[in-house]
Structure 1
Amino acid sequence: MNHESVRYIDKSPFKGKKVLLRVDFNVTLNPNYTIADDARIKQAIPTIQFLLKHHNRLIIVSHLDRPPKRDPKYSLKVVVDHLKDYLPGYNIRLIDDFMTEKPETFTQQNEQEILVLENIRFYPEEKHDENGFSKKLAALADVFVNDAFGVSHRTDASVVGIPQHIPGYGGLLLKREIEMISKAIKKPRKPVVAIIGGAKISSKISLIDKLMTIADYVLIGGGLANTFLCAQGVNIGSSFCEYEKSENAHRLLFLAARRHTAIILPSDVVTSDSKDDENSGTVKKIDQITGKEAIYDIGPETQAVFGSIIAKAKTIIWNGPIGYTENPSFKRGTDF
């Protein structure tokens, strides 16, 4: 994303428009599907308030987790209920299915109404913009505002498809995130430490490749680390791993050595037979994992190593969680 080419809402303000606002309300949920951490909701509030102050009518689009199909456990209802606490005085409504909703809901929307479309990933068309899905979304509004930095690398219909049909802008959170990263990458203070987590190496290959050109250390955790460990021949039990991407992991390790960048992988981990059991979790060296166990966090030894490196850093770039943060038992690596 070219920072200079993005039109931001504070630099190109508009009034009285119907706005389709893409946010990232992919909040962490407790095992009982209540909100465990509302940080992502709070981060979106400044953009929402800015647009409302300029007398725009908002239709909010977001995802929650990666449900393979429509599933009430991943409904945005829990988010809508929470959002009402931050925006008192507004009638915030969840639209179960925007494609079957009566047209008057959208055509007669007033400034005091905020419409939130149900989890956009309930629609299989979202992934590959099938059947003119982005055009149907765009037809609901006059302009599109992207404030979801965390998914801006994706080619989903609600991210890249909509602005092909209506004018697109960047929100205040997107602007802040891009400015911070641009500053860190263009003029980093040494030593530079990159912390990369998350589940999949497939979505981080280009990021890691880029960061290795400026970073002195790249600390890797999350499910992402499993693929690197697999590539080194480590038995990771039943842990998530993109085995088909092992060659990519090999290549990144090779490039890191050539560029004199140290890639640091976990030396110990927290394992469990169940990702949802809050009372589980066993610390093990990476060469002690058995077949039924899965890795859900880094261990204390790895935390200490990561911590000592981070303590010396002048620039820190962090992308993605280090453990399975949906379970409090596996958040220690991310929270330390």
Structure 2
Amino acid sequence: TAHRAHCSNVGVTKFVKESAAGYLVEKEIKFLGDALNAPVKPFLAILGGAKVSDKINVIENLLGKVDAIIIGGAMAYTFLKAQGYKTGKSLVEEDKLDLAKSLLKKAEDKGVKFLLPIDHVIATAVDFEKKEVPAGATVKNTDGLDIEDGFMGVDAGPKSIAKFSEIVKSAKTIVWNGPLGIFEVPEFSKGTVEIAKLVAEATDKGAISVVGGGDSVSAVKKAGVDKRISHVSTGGGASLEFLEGKDLPGIAALPTK
């Protein structure tokens, strides 16, 4: 709740002599703060999830700090469509295509590697309520970047994972927020789980890893590697706003940082 000014985390500080963060908040600030302000290079951000609009500010803030950024999940299709690739009936934010182009240009200007999936797992239908592939639906892998009509992208393909793995293995600081596919459906969770394992391997070799966001946290647990991540953030919206570079009222209210 540090991203909101509540009476319990901001108001109370005006009425007591001494106030301080607890150890979990301290840990969040240390790992997220060090990643943003003093990262060991190369610094990699992995961002997934459904919408570019949810992560615009995070991408813009991180572009000035990271060496590489991996974009997965449905928001990758907005970037791919902005580059002229076919996206079938994948989730695309049509009103964000120009923004996607400008973010790609910013990354290029700053010399940041901007990695998108180079192949996909695609399906004709997904039952989001039951979290399963409906009977009669077709699921297959694409050869390349284009997604044919009638299909939607549901996960990163094997070539993408192989490409991403090189960058993950060479990173020394990794911040990951958001899944790389429709992670809730077991058949479409492979890309996200593979990335979780790769991040854990990099951490085993000395990288600092911070994983946040409900689905990413679920992924590292599902992959059985949550104990091998430097810090699993439970901050939710607060950690996302921290990554956007915003001042959090619940932190700003404390007398010393």
Normalised TM-score (structure 1): 0.49
Q: Distance in 2 between matches of 1:325 and 1:245?
A: 23
- Letter of the 1:189 partner, please give it: V
Normalised TM-score (structure 2): 0.64
> Match of 2:122, SS?
strand
Once superposed, what is the RMSD of the aligned Cα atoms? 2.0
Of residues 160, 163, 188, the one that matches 1:302 is: 160
Structure 1 residue 185 and structure 2 residue 43: aligned? Answer: no
Q: Deviations over 1:125-163 (max 9, x none)?
A: xxxxxxxxxxxxxxxxxxxxx27xxxx5xxxxxxx3x71
Of residues 163, 188, 204, the one that matches 1:330 is: 188
Q: What pairs up with 1:170-249 in 2 under 5 angstroms? A: 173-249=24-100
Q: What pairs up with 1:105-120 in 2 under 5 angstroms? A: none
The answer to whether the 8 Å contact 2:85/2:146 transfers is: no
Partner of 2:114: 263
Ranked by relative contact order (alpha carbons within 8 Å, sequence separation 6 or more), the top structure is: 2
Q: Distance in 2 between matches of 1:283 and 1:202?
A: 27
Partner of 1:167: 8
Higher fraction of strand: 1
Partner of 2:248: none
> Match of 1:218, SS?
strand
Deviation for aligned residue 1:173: 4.9
Q: Distance in 1 between matches of 2:22 and 2:77?
A: 34
Q: What pairs up with 1:1-336 in 2 under 5 angstroms? A: 146=1, 152=3, 160=4, 163=6, 166-168=7-9, 173-276=24-127, 277-278=132-133, 281-336=139-194
- Letter of the 2:9 partner, please give it: G
- Letter of the 1:243 partner, please give it: E
Determine what percentage of the aligned residue pairs are the same residue: 36
The answer to whether the 8 Å contact 1:236/1:286 transfers is: no
The answer to whether the 8 Å contact 1:281/1:329 transfers is: no
Deviation for aligned residue 1:285: 3.3
Q: Distance in 2 between matches of 1:224 and 1:172?
A: 34
- Letter of the 1:309 partner, please give it: I
Q: Distance in 1 between matches of 2:46 and 2:115?
A: 10
Deviation for aligned residue 1:234: 1.1
- Letter of the 1:332 partner, please give it: K
Deviation for aligned residue 1:176: 3.3
> Match of 1:285, SS?
coil
Deviation for aligned residue 1:171: 7.0
The answer to whether the 8 Å contact 1:234/1:286 transfers is: no
How many residue pairs match? The answer is 177
Unmatched 5+ residue regions in structure 2? 11-20, 195-257
- Letter of the 1:227 partner, please give it: T
Q: Distance in 1 between matches of 2:76 and 2:27?
A: 28
Q: Distance in 2 between matches of 1:174 and 1:198?
A: 25
Q: Distance in 1 between matches of 2:154 and 2:96?
A: 20
The answer to whether the 8 Å contact 1:266/1:286 transfers is: no
Q: Deviations over 1:146-195 (max 9, x none)?
A: 27xxxx5xxxxxxx3x71xx232677655533331111111111111111
Q: 1:173 to 1:224 in 2, by over 3 A?
A: farther
Q: Distance in 2 between matches of 1:217 and 1:178?
A: 22
Higher fraction of helix: 2
The answer to whether the 8 Å contact 2:117/2:145 transfers is: no
> Match of 2:52, SS?
coil
The answer to whether the 8 Å contact 1:278/1:328 transfers is: no
